[in-house]
Amino acid sequence: MLKISKLLVLAALFDPFGGAAEATGIDAGVSAMLERVQPAVVSIRTISSGIFRNEMLEDPNVRKVLGLPDEVFIVQTGATATGSGVIIDREGGYIITSRHLVADADDVSVTLADGRVFHADRVGEDAPTDLAVIKIDASELAALQWGNSSELKVGEFVAAIGSPFGLAQTATFGIVSGLGRAGLGADEYQDYIQTDAAINPGNSGGPSSTFLAS
């Protein structure tokens, strides 16, 4: 994936806008977009009970480094996970996120951009698309409107906003790399949007936004 540092280097080498004054305008546009979008982006933490396989410790290379015998089966009791979500209904407190983050959780908590923390209830989920809707009981929420994917063009700048590695309100940037992608499974949903914005563990459930976000 293209890192933001590389993106900035390319922008410096190939400046289609012709100077510092125009670059300042771009910076202002990025900042304005983030000011509109980030208040609606939330961090999500889940707690799940039960017994889980520790996949990292099942890696033969990890076992070798730690001196663990191959025949030992290692499990852990209880697990926490972090991810992201976006508020889509400010009155009802509805948030869309990734299904795999909340599906088996015993407790789901949501941290808003302003630092407030709320318990969330699962409302619905769809396994083929890995989407879920959760709900919080809160006031004074910010919400985003759905964009129209049919209006996207390859090459448009896009931002991915979420909580990678638990770092809330992180924004990474890239472009729309491709449209109408297929061949990734879930045959009934073969129309993916590809971007090269950096995505890391914890970004799951967070939004992607063009600079024209409202």
* Candidates 100, 104, 109, 177; catalytic one: 100
User: What is the tens place of the pLDDT at every residue in 2-41?
Assistant: 333 333 333 333 333 444 445 456 677 788 889 999 999 9
User: pTM for the full model?
Assistant: 0.73
Domains in the chain with CATH codes: 4-39+145-210 (2.40.10.10), 41-135 (2.40.10.10)
Per-residue model confidence as pLDDT tens digits over 39-71: 999 999 999 886 666 666 677 777 677 777 766
* CA torsion through residues 5, 9, 15, 18, sign: positive
- pLDDT tens string 146-188: 888 888 899 999 999 999 999 999 999 999 998 888 876 666 6
Clarify whether 137 is annotated catalytic. Answer: no
From the candidates 89, 109, 130, 177, which is the catalytic residue? 130
Active site residue 209: no
Instruction: Tell me, yes or no, if 130 is annotated catalytic.
Output: yes
CA distance 166 to 164: 5
Tokens, residue 56: 């990292």
Active-site hit among 84, 163, 204, 208: 204
Distances (CA, A) of 131 to 17, 28, 101, 126, 212: 38, 32, 9, 5, 24
